[in-house]
Amino acid sequence: MGESLRDRFQMEGFRVDWFRRAGDAERALRQNSYVLLLSDIRLPDEPGDRLFQRCRKAQDFTLPPVIFITGYGSIATAVQLLKAGAADYVVKPFDLDELVSKVEELTRAGVRAAGGEEPSESGVLGISPVMRRVEQQLARLARADAGVLLVGGSGVGKELAARYFHRAGGGSRPFVAVNCGALPESLLEAELFGHERGAFTGAQRSRRGVFEQADGGVLFLDEIGDMPLSMQVRLLRAIQEKQVTRLGSEQSIPLDFTLVSATHRDLRALVAAGSFREDLYYRINTVQIRIPPLRERPEDILWFARNLLEARAEEGSVPRRLSHAAERALLKQDWPGNVRELEHCLQRALLLSDTPVLEPEDLFDELTTPPNAVGEEALADYLRAREYEHIRQALARHGGQITATARSLGISRKNLWEKMRKLAIGNRDSD
Ligand SMILES: Nc1ncnc2c1ncn2[C@@H]1O[C@H](COP(=O)(O)OP(=O)(O)OP(=O)(O)O)[C@@H](O)[C@H]1O
Ligand SMILES: [Mg+2]
């Protein structure tokens, strides 16, 4: 039946992922964003209703509307599921046309609820609800060809969001990025507006500026808050009049571009302090989207980490994964440097260790230094810290083998396991 359902829905214009086992479906539900789940109640590894109940409570992703397929024997279950929040059910043997119209109705409703938009490419910037909303808003703005100001701390993914905006608006148009803070004022002007031959010493040829390069596409002005005040008037004029004049030229060139700007600074404060023009501020700030720091969207931490490890494995390195303790450790961090910091942390761990399962101490340096035992520490903390170190070293000596380690420590295997769990020590050979 799965096959014919897939074929039919594909014919109806849906993208279909078909899984035979609840476990596989759950994994996919976590990773992708679907508009609907169609599930039999009887599945080989676990009943569909159990999958539903569990996913409904999951914190790290949102379950789309669910339609169940049941046999006559399980109508009672189906009715219970409706009460528990399932969208609908069909009883075997069912009329395929009827199912199709149910699905169409539900997916349209879902789309309406999301603001009258078609479902967009999702789960690119993150899987947290807030990043999905960011994606939706960016896609909507991109289709409307409206500019946007992206604000957020360093490394949150502002540039990536700008590129997403560009793709959502049809990626074949040019995308030109310029970092307004990186260039000295003298070069920035020529970079932005271009110049004619001989416009200044060293200008041996005429050159188009980034505004011209972005004609017909998206211009991304990164770190716009760092734009020198003297340049802001010219910038405002170019944005407002949609035309530029190259340095050393009289002729203005009409342009068509969508402006995306980004800053990690508080522009309002800059305006108040007199280092950012108020008129420019209002001009670029018609729509502002905030990319929240990573700690406000913990769902994205593990999502990102797993994606990175998977990508590495696909590039041909030995597959590696995170132990549960390592995942917990990642979630506990504050990540002031956001996604970039997380990325560096993982890259460093991959370089410096060669275990297939990454442990907290592979990720974070400070965890490998033995806990300091001097000072006013409580005795329990001291003992715990020593125990932690001692067990870790013993494990390392025995290649992570529990039985051998337990024997060397003079405790039972079970006892060692419990201590390891309590102390959050991962086990490399069987974690
Ligand atoms: N959703 C994401 N998926 C994959 N990588 C991401 C994601 N978000 C950010 N990154 C990575 O994190 C790093 C920082 O992202 P980006 O440059 O877009 O952030 P930014 O906000 O522009 O940072 P800055 O303030 O330093 O300019 C990049 O290496 C980028 O590839
Ligand atoms: Mg950036």
Q: How far apart are the first and last CA of the chain?
A: 38
> In this structure, which residue's CA is closest to atom 8 in ligand 1?
157
* 309-336 per-position pLDDT tens digit: 999 888 888 889 999 999 999 999 999 9
- pTM as predicted: 0.62
Q: Which pLDDT score is estimated for 2?
A: 85
Spatial contact of 313 and 295, defined as CB atoms under 8 Å apart: no
Q: Is the fold of 129-290 the same as that of 370-431?
A: no
Report the separation in Å between the CA atom of 338 and the middle of ligand 2, taken as the mean of its atom positions: 12
Cβ of residue 151 lying under 6 Å from some atom of ligand 1:
no
177 lines ligand 1 (CB under 6 A): no
State how far the Cα of 169 lies from the Cα of 257, in Å rounded to an integer.
Answer: 12
Residue 289 and residue 161 in contact, taking contact as beta carbons nearer than 8 Å: yes
Ligand 2: centre distance to CA 179 (Å)? 8
State the pLDDT at residue 237: 94
Domain 2-113 indexed as CATH 3.40.50.2300: yes
Q: Which residues contact 288 (CB under 8 A, 6 or more apart)?
A: 148, 149, 150, 151
Tell me the one-letter amino acid at 105: E
**From the alpha carbon of 300, which atom of ligand 1 is closest?**
1
Tell me which CATH code domain 370-431 carries: 1.10.10.60
Instruction: State both tokens at 255.
Output: 């342009």
Nearest listed ligand to the Cα of residue 160: 1
Check whether the bond before 93 is cis (ω within 30° of 0): yes
Residues 222 and 226: their CA atoms lie apart, in Å, by: 9
Nearest of 81, 166, 186 to residue 125 by alpha carbon: 166
User: Residue 253: exposed, middle, or buried by beta-carbon count in 10 A (0-12, 13-18, 19+)?
Assistant: middle
CATH number of 129-290: 3.40.50.300
Chosen CATH of 296-363 out of 1.20.1560.10, 1.25.40.10, 1.10.8.60, 3.30.950.10? 1.10.8.60
Q: Which atom of ligand 1 is nearest to the CA of 163?
A: 18
Rounded distance from Cα 231 to ligand 2 centre (Å)? 20
178 CA → ligand 2 middle, Å: 10
Question: For ligand 1, atom 16, which residue shows the shortest CA distance?
Answer: 157
* pLDDT of 402: 85
CA–CA separation, 182 and 241 (whole Å):
25
pLDDT tens over the chain, length 431 residues: 888 888 888 877 788 999 999 999 999 988 888 889 999 998 999 999 999 988 888 777 778 889 999 887 777 888 888 877 788 888 888 888 888 888 887 776 544 344 334 444 567 899 888 999 999 999 989 988 888 999 999 899 999 999 999 998 887 889 999 998 888 888 899 999 999 998 888 888 999 999 999 999 999 999 999 999 989 999 999 999 999 999 999 999 999 999 999 999 999 999 999 999 999 999 998 889 999 999 999 989 999 999 999 998 888 888 899 999 999 999 999 999 999 999 999 998 998 888 899 999 999 876 544 444 444 556 777 777 788 888 988 988 888 888 889 999 988 888 888 888 878 777 644 43
Ligand 1 neighbour 179 (Cβ under 6 A): no
For the chain, which residues make up each domain, given as ranges? 2-113, 129-290, 296-363, 370-431
308 Cα nearest atom in ligand 1: 4
Residue nearest to atom 1 of ligand 1 (CA): 125
Alpha helices in 96-245, H assignment, sequence order:
96-113, 129-144, 158-168, 185-193, 210-213, 229-241
> What pLDDT, on a 0 to 100 scale, did the predictor assign at position 195?
93
Query: What was the pLDDT predicted at 431?
Result: 37
Ligand nearest to the CA of 347: 1
Phi, psi of 177 (to 5 degrees): -110, 140
* Ligand 1 midpoint to CA 315 (Å): 20
Q: Whose CA is nearest to atom 23 of ligand 1?
A: 155
